[in-house]
Amino acid sequence: MLTQNQVQVFIEQFSLNIEPIWEQLGIVQWNQITTQDPGLKKSILELKQAEHHLYEDPASWEFIQNAYTRRDGFNLDIQRQIEILYNMFALNQSTSEEHAVISRLEIEIKSLYMKRKVDVKGEALSEDDILNVLRHSLDDRKRQAVWTESKHIGIVTAESLRELAHARNAVARRLGFSNHYHLAVSCQEISMDFLNKFLSEIEDSIQDPFRKIKEIVDNRLAGKFGISKEDLSPWHYADPFFQHAPPVFDSNVDSLFGGKDVVNISVEHYNKININVVDILNKSDIHSNKSKSRYNATARIDRKGDVRILVHMSDTARSMSTIMHELGHAAYNKNISNSLPLLLRRTAHHNVSEGIAILMGRLIYSPDWLIHHAKCDADAVKRKAHEMLLEHMADLLIFFRWSQVMIKFKQAFYADPSSSDLNSLWWDLVEKYQGIRKPAGRDAPDWAAKYHMALAPIYYQNFAIGDVLATHLEAWLERETGAVFGQPEIGTLLKTRLFAHGARYPWEQLIETATGEGLNAQHYIDRVVSTIKKALDS
């Protein structure tokens, strides 16, 4: 009969073995994204192999499965650590040979995305250059050329992504799952039943608001380019995947931040809600340079509070939102109690962390925050308030529908990575959820141009849940403090009721315990429906 003491000893020994590996991996991966030094790939691969060696031990896996079936007889902290270990081990039950293949493919594909070059007529374009063209250029041929070339990375990575999916699926099927997607979602403690019902509830409620917002966007884009709505193509939107609202709203939020120190504004914001982020920023990489990764990120170096962010700072609304967002992730990780056991010293779930980050990042659309905290010109903010409201709702709805494309596609991709219909399926989903038609005659693996296909393969459900949770948290904070910024009680609530607990509770239980109710999608639905009605009626 397995005793609690035996389980405790196992957990302590495993923690002693894995902690130094995690810390070394945290440092090496940070150095990789800040320098893109190709020589670090070998070190990362070796460290991942060392970590995987702990998971592939048959005796350890058998012990954990035994403990998992008896977990209800242990105290709550032991029970929770066993649940976490079970999911960690289950997700890593590849053999040494399989793991070597999976790790090699992951690192190679990641390197291709990180180092990709977009070249248009001899001009090398950065990620910012691509976005600038799609946001501002009126040259239709240039827009089409840039959009098309931005998708070229998909042709380069598609076959490797298929190979990687097959390798992941082989492991999942050995564990009794139909494919890797189902295994990964299960190990994230999200049931497919919950996920499908959750997405359907939101989708059913926002179809009409999205249709109204999309009509406004398309009418304004058609006017901007001097074409009919029917002639709009994917390159007429403001980013390669139509993830965010195009700059068709008369808000020009960027102009409010011209010449402003967005980092200092962020520090002051967090200070006022009783969260110190200065130590985070002191270790972070926030200035733009071409030697580091183009992608924004939050890096947890260890489980002792060393957290850093990588962003590309500029005096724009996008940069303001990004820094606020990444500092939300970082503040959560930093304020997890160090008194917790190692395995519980992490966020309760990616989607909870996304909820915090999204809540902070979307404050750039709050007139009160812009005037009273960011010290933007009050008259300018008031003039722009109506259009900012429309832009915010458009951004929110567009991103949720985009998330649907990624979630539905990945479910189909892992169900059959060899399918010859993936290219057309991608565009079927884009047309259904985003209302954008495929360019005539196009047949390319555009799905593979999105770096999340490899870098965060089963993650988009966390963005979708996080978006809804952000509104849930906003409603909670307003009930408790009357505000979502500017009050020290806000940070105190977040730190004591959410952050400090780490992963001690399953994510749904933590939300209910902290906020007084389980995740309530109605907060999100009501806000979207009522806000859009108000905006369109005024």
Banded model confidence at residue 290, pLDDT cuts 50, 70, 90: confident
- Confidence at residue 455, expressed as pLDDT on a 0 to 100 scale: 72
Predicted local distance difference test score (pLDDT) of residue 292: 85
Q: Express each pLDDT in 509-530 by its tens digit.
A: 999 999 999 999 999 999 888 8
| Residue 131: half-sphere exposure toward Cβ, Cα within 13 Å | 11
Q: Say yes or no: 222 and 118 in one domain.
A: no
Task: Please provide the distance, in angstroms rounded to a whole number, between the alpha carbons at the two ends of the chain.
Answer: 69
Dist CA 73 CA 93 (whole Å): 26
pLDDT digits (tens, 9 = 90+) for 174-200: 999 999 999 999 999 999 999 999 999
Work out how many domains the chain is built from and give that number: 2
Pairing label, strands 118-120, 123-125: antiparallel
Residues 174 and 214 in one domain: no
pLDDT of 110 strictly over 90: no
Q: Average pLDDT in the 154-175 region?
A: 95
Residue 385: pLDDT band with limits 50, 70, 90: very high
Residues 419, 526: one domain? yes
The predicted pLDDT at position 41 comes to: 86
Tens-place pLDDT, residues 18-37: 999 999 999 999 999 999 88
Euclidean distance between CA atoms 484 and 492, whole angstroms: 12
Q: Please report whether residue 104 resides in a domain.
A: yes
Residue 157 forms part of a structural domain: yes
* Span 212-222, average pLDDT: 96
Q: Are residues 162 and 221 in the same domain?
A: no
Within a domain: residue 423? yes
The reply to whether 180 and 231 lie within a common domain is: no
Q: Both tokens of residue 58?
A: 């048959």
- Per-residue pLDDT averaged across 79-104, rounded? 94
Same domain, 169 and 40: yes
Inside any domain, residue 283: no
User: Rounded mean pLDDT of 159-163?
Assistant: 96
- Residue 437: helix, strand or coil by DSSP? coil
Tokens standing for residue 486: 């500017």
- Mean pLDDT score of the chain: 94
Q: Does 288 reside within a domain?
A: no
CA gap 45, 300 in Å, rounded? 18
Give 353: exposed, middle or buried? Use CB within 10 Å, 0-12, 13-18, 19+: buried
What is the reported pLDDT for 116?
77
Same domain? For 176 and 202 the reply is no
Tokens of 194: 């919950």
Distance of alpha carbon 16 from alpha carbon 115, whole angstroms: 36
Quote the pLDDT of residue 416: 98
Whether 101 is covered by a domain: the verdict is yes
Q: Which two tokens stand for residue 447?
A: 């799905």
Contacts of 193 (CB under 8 A, 6+ apart): none
Residues 265, 174 share a domain: no
Is residue 197 assigned to a domain? yes
* pLDDT (0 to 100) of residue 151: 94
Q: Are residues 12 and 115 in the same domain?
A: yes
**pLDDT for 92:** 93
Higher pLDDT, 101 or 293: 101
Kindly tell me if the per-residue pLDDT of 80 is higher than 90: yes
Residues 127 and 238 in one domain: no
User: Looking at the structure, do residues 383 and 497 belong to the same domain, yes or no?
Assistant: yes
Q: Has residue 337 got a pLDDT over 90?
A: yes
SS3 123: strand
Q: Inform me whether the pLDDT recorded for 294 exceeds 80.
A: no
Looking at 134, 168, 187, which one is the last position of a domain? 187
Which are the contacts of 333, defined by CB distance < 8 A and separation ≥ 6?
A: 298, 300, 305, 307, 346, 347, 353
Q: What is the mean pLDDT of residues 303-329?
A: 95
Whether residue 294 lies inside any domain: the answer is no
Which of 142, 163, 187 marks a domain boundary?
A: 187
**Alpha helices (runs of H) in 177-316, residue ranges in sequence order:** 180-187, 192-225, 253-256, 262-272, 278-282
Mean local confidence (pLDDT), 360-386: 95
Separation CA 457–CA 468 (nearest Å): 21
Per-residue confidence (pLDDT) for residue 64, from 0 to 100: 97
Location of structure tokens 């567009």: 398
Q: Residue 431: give its domain's CATH number.
A: 1.10.1370.30
Domain boundary residue, one of 187, 215, 239 = 187
**Cα separation values, 250 from 246, 247, 366, 386, 481, Å:** 11, 8, 16, 9, 32
pLDDT at residue 293 is higher than 90: no
Find the range with the poorest average confidence among 113-122, 335-344, 478-487: 113-122
* 8 Å CB contact between 68 and 97: no
Residue 532 is predicted with a pLDDT of 85
Domain with 67 in it: 4-187
| pLDDT score at 107 | 85
Claim to verify: residue 228 and residue 339 sit in the same structural domain: yes
The answer to whether 386 touches 371, Cβ cutoff 8 Å, is no
User: Would you state the pLDDT for residue 76?
Assistant: 96
pLDDT in tens, 419-469: 999 999 999 999 999 999 999 999 999 999 998 887 777 999 999 999 999
The stretch 489-505 carries a mean pLDDT of 98
d(CA 84, CA 89): 9
- Alpha-helical segments (H) within 36-151: 40-55, 58-69, 76-90, 96-114, 127-136, 140-150
